[in-house]
Amino acid sequence: MNRNSQMNPDAVLSVQDVSKTFTLHLQGAQRLPVVDGLTFDVPRGACVVLGGESGSGKSSVMKMVYGSYGVDSGRILLAQDHGVLDLAAAQPRQVLAARRATMGYVSQFLRAVPRVAAIDVVAEPLVELGESREAAAERAGELLARLSIPERLWQLPPATFSGGERQRVNIARGFVRERALLLLDEPTASLDARNREVVIGLIRESLARGVGILAIFHDADVREAVADATVDVQRFAPAALVGAGA
Amino acid sequence: MSAPRIVYNEGYLDEQTKRVVRRALLKGVAIPGFQVPFASREVPMPRGWGTGGVQVTASVIGASDTLKVIDQGADDTTNAVSIRQFFEKVAGTDSTTRTDEATVIQTRHRIPETPLSDGQIIVYQVPIPEPLRFLEPRETETRRLHALEEYGLMYVKLYEDIARFGHFATTYDYPVLVNGRYVMAPSPIPSFDNAKMHQSPALQLFGAGREKRIYAIPPYTDVESLGFEDFPFEPQRFATPCEICGSEGVYLDEVVMDDRGTVMYACSDTDHCERTAAQKEAVL
Amino acid sequence: MNDEQPLLSVAGAGHSYGDAFGCRDVSFDLWPGEVLAIVGESGSGKSTLLGMLSQRLSIDEGTVRYRRSSAADTAELVDLSLLSEREVRGLWRTEWGYVHQNAMDGLRMQVSAGGNIGEPLMANGWRHYGRIREQAEQWLARVEIPADRIDDAPITFSGGMRQRLQIARNLVFGPRLVFMDEPTSGLDVSVQARLLDLIRSLVADLGLAVVIVTHDLAVARLISHRTLVMKDGAVIESGLTDRVLDDPQAAYTQLLVSSILQD
């Protein structure tokens, strides 16, 4: 918990003056800047969309918030039950605790753990919370059904599913447990119109319950349906640094 | 015939050696069940024939003693007779086959049926003094286990017996816990005899010559055979009495009578058998 | 249990082989329920570090401190090099487990599976055959070894099954900290997957802290929360596993990550 962190009480996430540059040591220490001075808030009950062209660093920003990428400077403040945490400076176990309690994440690709049945993949966040496997599985089943995953697939590991099916399992897992902040990275990329509608419905329900959402949407219609604000990541692109070993 | 060219010290061993053995014995008595290493000497028989027992006996025996030697309960086997004659010669002891008349009893693989009394010494011949040896071949490790009182391994062996046979498979040299502290190998006496070691009035001494270890159980010491709460130790039982003297509740030997496989069950303790049979005849 | 204090605290620790250091200046804290992966190639010092943490190798520099369960109220960490041999052996029976790379090193190959699992219990004073066997049965089920193998010796088991038996033997007495030395190496890929899955679920169910040495980054990604990357005896990068693997900062880590065969 950082004493100097100042955060808007209505925001669940506050990104403040974040900068990041990749250094590719294997390519002669070439530096690849991503963002500089990135600043935005995600208020409770609002959906903030990261905009910008492909390659502008939207996914990277998402990963920085989640903790999969480090940041070079700046603060990423998360409002938790017991106080504000600066994810950029936090210890690994604090980030892990924040992910369990406060941050949900639907990544672009489902990392399928071998041998675990789809229904258990989805139920896991609830089981982690202490719920019984039966109750968790029931809730998981409801979501899978809503996302049109046929019941005959529930006991199979998602490694064998189609891309769209895996994505829907991913989405179910992201929504099965309500957390204060939800990160969505292209959740509808491989979905048909019907399932896109289902996802829009899930998003709206969460927003109505006060969840703050940070999202990247490929589809314009989904964006239009749920976005409350857009952050153009390209506005925060640093002046490009050229050359090796700078 | 001229005078013998070699003059033996009383008891065969030189006095310094006797001191070494006695010190080891004192330490063994002070730490019941603990294996004390000692510098095992040459005696006129090969290793594996009771050299440890002989060294212990030689160190405690004197001209005023009466010695009984048994080999699997019998006084009259070649080895028992040889050892008895040896001590008659080098220590000037009297010999006897009667348990109640002996002051020192050297035994291989049996405890006499006649209860021992205060003032008697029984010396056991021990082949392998380490009860954990077959489970843990390293001496460095078994010494540590004894020192740290880590006997889980012993119970693993007992567990395996029950899992495999439904009961303990070891019927001789059955491990015991001495004075609530050291696990000890009682020598290959039948488990039937284990109970006799518990709270015995006699001094029990153990000698392993080849393995160079001495240990002891002082009189009136607790000796408990290992077991589980739900599978306690149970000694062997014999359903029939001795066919010679009619004794019950004694350890019986199976004696083959002829080529056709006829067997007879008789007391392994020859002294006990003779006396019981003689008593019966006297009554008749 | 005080969760503010770490379970294991390593500060500037190192082990030397004569003049050369096998590993040097290693520092990290480990909390209950955390899985820490130590990754590196051959000669990186990862095995030396594991050996030092588990007290098989001496701590020649720095300190390794551990919070014993007996210190639950005071939450005091004790310097492992100050413990007597009896105390350390006691820890191995009650609080620590060690899963060897080769199951043969961690099992009694001629003793039945039930006896192998029961031994730590018997070492801790369990004297009821029925209850010991019951625990063994439960653990065999938990590591997915068929119940009818309870009286078979592991010399008759496959490699994967031996490893699972080794895990059962190490968890039966409820340790808080388990060291694992490349537990999946040498096993077939499908067997590895199954074993890792088992480890994952046991760690989650039992709230174990684990220190696992591996050269395989995929293993680290699958089961660890945090990762230390070692090279030439030094820790060159550490942090959240997904951060270290997705956004490696050190040149060597980037090299390691880029060397993973892509499918």
Phi, psi of A131 (to 5 degrees): -75, 155
B146: nearest Cα among B37, B231, B40:
B37
For chain C, the chains sharing at least 3 beta-carbon pairs closer than 8 angstroms are: A, B
Q: Identify the three-state secondary structure at position A220.
A: helix
Tens digit of each residue's pLDDT (9 = 90 or more) over B167-183: 888 889 999 999 999 99
CB contacts, 8 Å: C92 with chain B: none
Give the nearest partner residue to C246 out of A63, A92, A115, using CB atoms: A63
Contact (CB<8Å) C247/A69: yes
Contact (Cβ atoms closer than 8 angstroms) between residue C229 and residue C40: yes
Mean pLDDT across chain B: 93
pLDDT tens digits, residue range B177-229? 999 999 999 999 999 999 999 999 999 999 999 999 999 999 999 999 999 99
- Average the pLDDT over A84-99 and give the result: 93
Q: Are B95 and B121 members of one domain? A: yes
Task: Say whether both B36 and B79 belong to one domain.
Answer: yes
Look at residue A221 in the predicted model and tell me its pLDDT.
87
CB-nearest to C119 from B148, B156, B162 is B156
Same domain, B210 and B252: no
pLDDT at A2: 46
Q: Is the pLDDT of residue C2 over 50?
A: no
Q: Are residues B44 and B101 in the same domain?
A: yes
- The minimum CA-CA distance between C210 and chain B, rounded to whole Å, is 26
* pLDDT category of residue B2 using cuts at 50, 70 and 90: low
In this complex, whether A and B touch, counting 3 or more CB pairs under 8 angstroms, is: no
Instruction: Please choose, from the candidates A203, A69, A174, the residue with its C-alpha nearest in 3D space to the C-alpha of residue A111.
Output: A174
Q: C113: Cβ–Cβ under 8 A, 6 or more apart, which residues?
A: C136, C140, C145, C149, C150, C151, C152, C153, C154, C157, C165
CA-based nearest residue to B243, from B262, B261, B220: B262
**Cβ proximity of C221 and C245 under 8 Å:** yes
Number of folded domains that form chain B: 2
Query: In terms of domains, do B133 and B261 share one?
Result: no
- For C120, name the nearest residue in chain B, comparing CA atoms only: B152
For residue B230, the chain C residues in CB contact (below 8 A) are 128-130
User: Mapping DSSP to helix (H, G, I), strand (E, B) and coil, where does residue C32 land?
Assistant: coil
Same domain, B70 and B193: yes
Using a CB-CB cut-off of 8 Å, the residues of chain C touching A116 are 197
Options B11, B33, B52, B53, the catalytic residue: B33
pLDDT at position C29 over 80:
yes
8 Å CB contact of A92 and C225: yes
Report the predicted TM-score, pTM, of the whole model to 2 decimal places: 0.86
Whether residues B217 and B281 share a domain: the answer is: no
Task: Look up residue C88 and give its two tokens.
Answer: 């350390």
Kindly determine whether residue C239 and residue A70, on different chains, have CB atoms separated by under 8 Å: yes
Q: Please say if B227 is a catalytic residue.
A: no
- Convert the pLDDT of each residue in A125-184 to its tens digit: 898 888 888 999 999 999 999 999 999 999 998 888 888 898 999 999 999 998 999 999
Contact status of A112 with chain C (Cβ, < 8 Å): no
Chain C positions touching A67 (Cβ under 8 A) are: 240, 242-243
Please tell me what DSSP assigns to residue A15. Answer: E
- Contact (Cβ atoms closer than 8 angstroms) between residue A173 and residue A125: yes
Selected residues 127-156 of chain A with any CB under 8 Å from a CB in chain C: 128
Longest dimension (CA), chain B: 69
Answer for the pair C243, A68: CB distance below 8 angstroms, yes or no.
yes
Hey, what are B62's tokens? 């004197």
Does C159 reside within a domain?
yes
Active-site entry in B52, B73, B209, B242:
B242
B95, B27: one domain: yes
Q: Is B119 assigned a catalytic role?
A: no
Predicted local distance difference test score (pLDDT) of residue B6: 79
Of all residues in chain A, the one with the smallest CA distance to C205 is A128
Give the pLDDT of residue A145: 94
Question: Can you give the pLDDT at residue B275?
Answer: 92
Q: Which two tokens stand for residue B35?
A: 């294996």
Check whether residue B264 and residue B198 sit in a common domain: no
**Predicted local distance difference test score (pLDDT) of residue A241:** 44
Mark yes or no for CB contact C129/B228 under 8 Å. yes
C128: chain B residues, CB-CB within 8 Å: 228-230
Average pLDDT over residues B1-5: 66
pLDDT given at position A71: 94
Decide if C250 is inside a domain.
no
B33 tagged catalytic: yes
Report the CATH number at residue B200.
Answer: 3.40.50.11310
Q: How near does any CA of chain B get to the CA of C198, in Å?
A: 27
Say if residue B104 is in the same domain as residue B244: no
Q: How far is C243 from chain B (nearest CA, A)?
A: 45
Least confident of B24-28, C176-180, C200-204: C200-204
A230 to chain C nearest CA, in Å? 26
Which of A24, A26, A96 is closest, CB to CB, to C225?
Answer: A96
Task: Let me know if residue C71 belongs to a domain.
Answer: no
Q: For residue C150, give its domain range.
A: 108-174
Q: Is C250's CB within 8 Å of A25's CB? A: yes
Q: Do C242 and A68 touch (CB under 8 A)?
A: yes
Task: Confirm or reject contact between C19 and chain B (CB < 8 A).
Answer: no
For residue range B118-152, what is the model confidence (pLDDT) as tens digits? 999 999 999 999 999 988 899 999 999 999 999 99
CB contact under 8 A, C127 and B228: yes
Q: Are residues B33 and B77 in the same domain?
A: yes
The answer as to whether C127 is a domain residue is: yes
* Chains with ≥3 CB–CB distances under 8 Å to A: C
The strand ranges marked E within chain C are 8-17, 20-30, 35-39, 61-66, 78-79, 96-99, 177-181, 209-214, 226-231, 234-240
Following CA atoms A224, A227, A228, A233 in sequence, which dihedral angle do they give, to the nearest 10 degrees? -110
d(CA A26, CA B211): 65
Q: How far is B186 from chain C (nearest CA, A)?
A: 22
Quickly tell me which residue has 């088992």 as its tokens.
Answer: C198
pLDDT digits (tens, 9 = 90+) for B56-102: 999 999 999 999 999 999 999 999 999 999 999 999 999 999 999 99
Same domain, B273 and B221: no
Q: Give the separation between CA B149 and CA B184, rounded to whole angstroms.
A: 12
C190 class by beta-carbon count within 10 Å (0-12 exposed, 13-18 middle, 19+ buried): exposed
Q: Considering the domain boundaries, does residue B163 fall inside one? A: no
pLDDT of residue A205: 95
φ/ψ of C222, rounded to 5, equals -70, -40
Looking at CA atoms only, how far is residue A220 from chain C in angstroms?
Answer: 29
Q: Is residue C164 part of a domain?
A: yes
Q: Which domain holds residue B182?
A: 15-139+172-225
CB < 8 Å to A22, chain C: 247
CB contact under 8 A, C112 and B155: no
pLDDT tops 50 at residue C115? yes
Distance from CA of B198 to the nearest CA of C (A): 21
Nearest chain C residue to A94 by CA: give it: C240
Rounded to the nearest 10 degrees, the angle between the axes of helix B152-165 and helix C129-142 is: 80
Task: Count structural domains, chain C.
Answer: 1
Tokens of C115: 């006896």
Q: Would the CB atoms of A68 and C194 count as touching at under 8 Å?
A: no
